Amino acid sequence: MRYDVIVVGAGPAGSTAAREAAAHGLATLLLDKATFPRDKPCGGGLTVRTQRLIPFSLAPVAERPIHGMRVTLRQGRGITRDFPEPMAHLAQRARLDAFLVARATAAGTVLREGTAVKAVERYPDRVVVRAGGEAFEGRTLVAADGANGRTAALAGMAGERWLVVGLEGNVTPSAGIPDEWANRLGLDVGDHPGGYAWIFPKGDHLNVGVAVWQPLGPTLRSRLDRVARFYGVAPTELWGVRGHHLPLRRPGAPLADGNVLTVGDAAGLLDPFTLEGIYAAVWSGRAAARHLAAFVAGEAPDLTGYAAEVEGELAPELDLARRVHDVFHAMPALTVGVIWGAPPVWRFCSRLMRGERSYADVTRRLGPFAVGLDLISDATRAVPALRRRAGLDALADPPPPERFLRRGKTAGA
């Protein structure tokens, strides 16, 4: 059978693209090397704005509403803040992904599990994907196989990315989840270049982890042990310890080429500040399906309209998030004091996390002082002392100052 769309990777981005494409009436095949349910390392944060993108309830897999945070600085003093409405729900990826895959198949998607892609052949009018000892032919291809996926590269669309690496483990408290973390997550900042450490409550266990720039990967185990002790967890009690990559897209990296496009982590569409990727995964899967439908219907010559939509709507937010990331890591103590120490700022940031505000709203709130955000971000990338403070010197090729790439263009401006 020849398909209209072949999607490789059945995480939130791939299953969303497949479900939406099938809903558009496209013959859709979804391939994944794993068999579902399967777990993967991830914080599993489902923000309110993510849930608003999905046309059905995630209640069956959303385990815990998060109403607050405890933020600490270098495993020291901390500030606890709560919010009356849920900022997010936490889910386990084994359950979430299986649930989203089931919705994709219910919409008409054909699922092939345990089918690892070995090769991709591209032709002007079709693609051939060789996987699991078979050849599958489709008019279009969606690379959705995550941070470690090879599909985009096999299709000739390899794009360079900056990588954050994480290591996480779980602990099951004998007395249940402590009240302190029942509806609250913990973040430790200022000591983890490029990332942060965390403790997240899941259904019956706590997830503890740390993320840093990739070159610092060899330090992850000692960092995780130190953070676990800080949160009152003996490192020997951690189970399911595993690492993972968090790819950050470089400006200009390819998103679409002819009849192939990339979505989610495979495209590096993570929030550089929070390292949250499920929202962008679902957003890009939905956008991809619209452009796939237009292409298959002969209404578009190729899939570059998808790239233009990402560049015009999602990428500016990610660029702003990267600037906030720069400022935060250059001066974590000041930033923690301002964001979590001032109740009005905390309420705004809670709305940002819920998705009722955007990073563009940050610049609008700052008004004429928004230029300061740009200048500090540029200085953090250009001045050696600030680069060291922000941890950017860990990268062989850190992001250049953005004003030399693009000036005056901010999301929502």
Domain map of the chain by residue range? 2-44+92-159+252-302, 64-90+162-248, 327-404
The 10s digit of each residue's pLDDT in 229-254 is 999 999 999 999 999 999 999 888 99
pLDDT, greater one: 145 or 386 = 145
How far is it, in rounded angstroms, from Cα 272 to Cα 317? 10
Say if residue 167's pLDDT is above 80: yes
First to last CA, the chain: 47
Q: In terms of pTM, does the model score above 0.85?
A: yes
* Average pLDDT of the residues in 153-157: 94
* Choice among 139-148, 231-240, 341-350 with the minimum mean pLDDT: 341-350
Say if residue 410's pLDDT is above 70: no
The 10s digit of each residue's pLDDT in 46-98 is 988 899 999 999 999 988 899 999 999 999 988 898 888 888 998 889 899 99
pLDDT band at 264 (very low <50, low <70, confident <90, very high): very high
Q: Are 117 and 129 in contact (CB under 8 A)?
A: yes
The 10s digit of each residue's pLDDT in 99-117 is 999 999 999 999 999 999 9
How far is it, in rounded angstroms, from Cα 288 to Cα 14? 10
According to DSSP, the β-strands at 68-73 and 134-143 are unpaired
The 10s digit of each residue's pLDDT in 19-30 is 999 999 999 999
Please list the alpha-helical segments (H only) found in 45-189. 48-53, 93-106, 151-154
pLDDT, greater one: 33 or 361 = 33
Percentage of the residues of the chain whose pLDDT score is greater than 90:
64
Percentage of the residues of the chain whose pLDDT score is greater than 70:
97
- Residues comprising the chain, all counted: 413
pLDDT at res. 289: 98
Q: Residue 232's closest CA among 167, 171, 169? A: 171
DSSP H helix total and E strand total for the chain? 13, 18
Segment holding 14, helix H or strand E: helix 12-23
Q: Are 264 and 284 in contact (CB under 8 A)?
A: yes
DSSP letter string, 114-177? S--EEEEEEETTEEEEEETTEEEEEEEEEE---TT--HHHHTT----EEEEEEEEEEE--TT-S
AA letter at 254: P
| Phi-psi group of 240: left, alpha or beta (phi > 0 → left; psi -120 to 50 → alpha; rest → beta) | left
Fold of 64-90+162-248: D-Amino Acid Oxidase; Chain A, domain 2 (3.30.9)
Q: 126-147 b/e with 16+ CB inside 10 Å = b?
A: bbbbebbeeebebbbbbbbbbb
Beta-carbon count within 10 A of 389 CB = 16
Quote the CATH superfamily of domain 2-44+92-159+252-302.
Answer: FAD/NAD(P)-binding domain (3.50.50.60)
* Average pLDDT of the residues in 183-205: 93
pLDDT at res. 396: 80
pLDDT at res. 402: 66
Say if residue 228's pLDDT is above 80: yes
* Average pLDDT of the residues in 369-382: 84
* Average pLDDT of the residues in 181-186: 93
Q: Are 170 and 236 in contact (CB under 8 A)?
A: no
pLDDT band at 408 (very low <50, low <70, confident <90, very high): very low
Say if residue 261's pLDDT is above 70: yes
- Chain-wide mean pLDDT for the chain? 91
